[in-house]
């Protein structure tokens, strides 16, 4: 399979994810944010870091990047899209995921390992996990508080779109949500970073497994 990883000015997570996917046997393209053609990719990844220096707010300026329209079209066709860390911010700014991520209530930068529970194991992103399994993943952000109006959160929960949940929420995210997907199930945003950790590698392996199954079935 082939993964495309978007690089914005200021992002820093693309190299680690490139190495992880390469170790899993994937071809990887680094896509500059001005790209309008994603090529023949099977997975689009928006990495963490600080796109455009997080000016205005994390991910805000990324909505003006030409790659946005190509990403929206890719997702509309059913292509898998993964956003990690600040990439989660970008997906909300692009309208691919609901809600918004705001400053931590502590107003401090948080860099620590958190326990994250798998809420759903029947998704394209969690196929190698079981419901209730616990991951150890690192968060690294000053803007990790996921917010959504209460009625919209209830709808999100009712549709099973909360895929990962903090065991002990460190940032007052509504519902303790650490990762959510869109209603179609092909776009996932997760705040903790999956790169360079055993549990994170297993998450990426789950995605690769699902993509390769889709390819083998001609999906």
The per-residue pLDDT for range 25-38, each reduced to its tens digit, is 999 999 999 999 99
Tokens of residue 118, six digits: 């798998």
| Banded pLDDT at 90 (limits 50, 70, 90) | very high
CB atoms < 10 A from the CB of 53, how many? Answer: 12
| Distance, CA of 166 to CA of 178 (rounded, Å) | 6
pLDDT digits (tens, 9 = 90+) for 161-174: 999 999 999 999 99
Domains of the chain: 2-216 (3.40.50.880)
> What is the four-CA torsion angle of 159, 161, 165, 170, rounded to 10 degrees?
-110
The pLDDT assigned to 72 comes to: 98
The pLDDT assigned to 216 comes to: 82
For tokens 């495309």, the residue is: 4
The CA R_g of the chain, rounded to the nearest whole Å, is 16
3-state secondary structure the chain: CEEEEEECCCECCHHHHHHHHHHCCCEEEEEECCCCCCCCCCEEEECCECHHHHCCCCCCHHHHCCHHHHHHHHHHCCCEEEEECHHHHHHHHCCCCCCEEECCCCCCCEEEEEEEEECCCCCCCCCCCCCCCEEEEEEEECCCEEECCHHHHHHHHHCCCEEEEECCCCCCCHHHEEEEECCCCCEEEECCECCCCHHHHHHHHHHHHHHHHHHHCCC
pLDDT at 219 over 70: no
| Banded pLDDT at 1 (limits 50, 70, 90) | very high
* CA–centroid distance for 217 within its chain: 25
């Amino acid at each position: 399979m082939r993964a495309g990883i978007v690089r914005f000015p200021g992002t820093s997570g693309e190299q680690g994810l490139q190495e992880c996917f390469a170790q899993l046997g994937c071809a990887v393209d680094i896509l500059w944010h001005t790209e309008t053609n994603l090529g023949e990719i099977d997975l689009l990844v928006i990495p963490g870091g600080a796109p455009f220096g997080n000016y205005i707010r994390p991910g805000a300026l990324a909505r003006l990047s030409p790659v946005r329209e190509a990403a929206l079209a890719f997702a509309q066709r059913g292509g898998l899209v993964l956003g990690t860390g600040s990439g989660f911010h970008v997906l909300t700014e692009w309208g691919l995921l609901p809600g918004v991520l705001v400053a931590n209530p502590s107003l401090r930068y948080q860099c620590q390992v958190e326990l994250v529970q798998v809420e759903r194991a029947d998704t394209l992103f969690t196929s190698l996990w079981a419901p209730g399994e616990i991951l150890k993943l690192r968060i690294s952000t000053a803007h990790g508080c996921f917010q959504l109006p209460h009625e919209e959160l209830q709808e999100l929960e009712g549709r099973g779109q909360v895929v990962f949940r903090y065991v002990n929420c460190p940032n007052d995210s509504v519902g303790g949500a650490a990762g959510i997907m869109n209603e179609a199930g092909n776009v996932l945003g997760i705040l903790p970073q999956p790169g360079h950790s055993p549990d994170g590698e297993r998450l990426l392996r789950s995605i690769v497994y699902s993509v390769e199954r889709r390819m083998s079935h001609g999906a």
